Structure 1
Amino acid sequence: MAATEHVVPPSPFSDLVRSETRQQHGTVQSSPFMADLLGGRLGLDAFTRYTGQLWFVYRALEEAVPALRDDPVAGPFLRDELLRLPALERDLAHLLGGAEHLGALAPLPATSAYAARIAGVAREWPGGYVAHHYTRYLGDLSGGQVIRSLAEKTWGLAHKSDGVRFYVFDAIDNPAAFKRTYRALLDALPVDDLEKQRIAAECRRAYALNSTLFDALGREFDCPVAPPQAG
């Protein structure tokens, strides 16, 4: 009698994405700019500059929402609870000293490249848009809360008020449950395995674009460059 073959079920796609981007996630978190920002070694001007760059990234993400609402791949992820542009604009009006200063915001070249990639995939490739949506919004619900807390303590910004509203998701009562639901949507994406690999690769690209932005901010604020790792 032949032994029963043990079939290992495939890993959920959300687990694949997390495993394939783990190293890049760590690299972004430990970038000189973010390390100095989180370590309190940079001033409110650096936080303001960073927040201003985020405005261009989220404008690209959220301007695409109306066209993708009914898309079978991207549509299920487009939850109004996640939208950040109004909160970003309130934060920037506070940080810059008035809404009239919003028109003076200027993207760094790295920011322009990042936003252009998001806009491009939003027009041409819904799966690629999902990759950027995932890396941004789930990051905001997770590590973004560390940045909010630091900003409140270091620069005296009011708790969950103007200046840090970007990180406050008032319409999400249970972030952990929301993230589980989001990852379940990733696992249920109506695409084949090849497309999932393409989406995972775009997640890595999203982290790389974010890393390039942090590098540019680090140069602007004279953050020390981390020594190359051995090996």
Structure 2
Amino acid sequence: MSTKPSATLTERRKAATQLDIAHAAAELFATRGPDGTTAEEIARRAGVALRTFYRYFRSKQDAVSPLLADGADRWRSLLEAAEPGTPLPQALENAVSQALATPDDEAVRALLRTRGLLRAAADDPALRAVWYRVNQESEERLVPVLARLVGQDARSLEVRLAAAAATDAIRIALETWAGTEAGTQGPDSPAALALRCLHRLVGVMEPWGRQEAAGAEAR
């Protein structure tokens, strides 16, 4: 398990302010839509000055990026905690199941906020761009985590492919769920949909060398 330096008090305060702004933006987008919301209104709702808003975010849509990135950060942390050598499909499925679980009301609210943002993004190209950027950044950060899990057999191409497949599996599951009225639990929940996506992609995440060996035998 990797160790990370503790955040300083200044960094924690900065992160807390960014999250307050993100929550304010998400609430306003859910009720008014991005077009009906201004940066000034987001700053006022978050209790910060407009200059503080623009210190942290380039646009009103960018303000929700901490919330959208939170889920990816959580499941990546779960993967980082997995023991090296854990079969990759198993590690990914365990992490996704835990990250998208809703054991309490706050977890339910977090998923419902994501649903609201994804619905708002359907008609707002700038908000969609933030969502895609967050996923791209998550994919890039996932590569070294998967490489550590796979160990010495890791190959750059396969690790990058697995990172892309896993990230897209969760993205597609969340987007699909956001377009429905399904609950946060059950067969059509984000966790269930994400696991179904991962199962379809499990072939690219088999232990390294197995597919190549099969190909060599066939030749």
Relative to the length of structure 2, the TM-score reads: 0.34
> Whose relative contact order is higher, 1 or 2, with alpha carbons under 8 Å and at least 6 apart?
1
Greater per-residue helix proportion = 2
Relative to the length of structure 1, the TM-score reads: 0.33
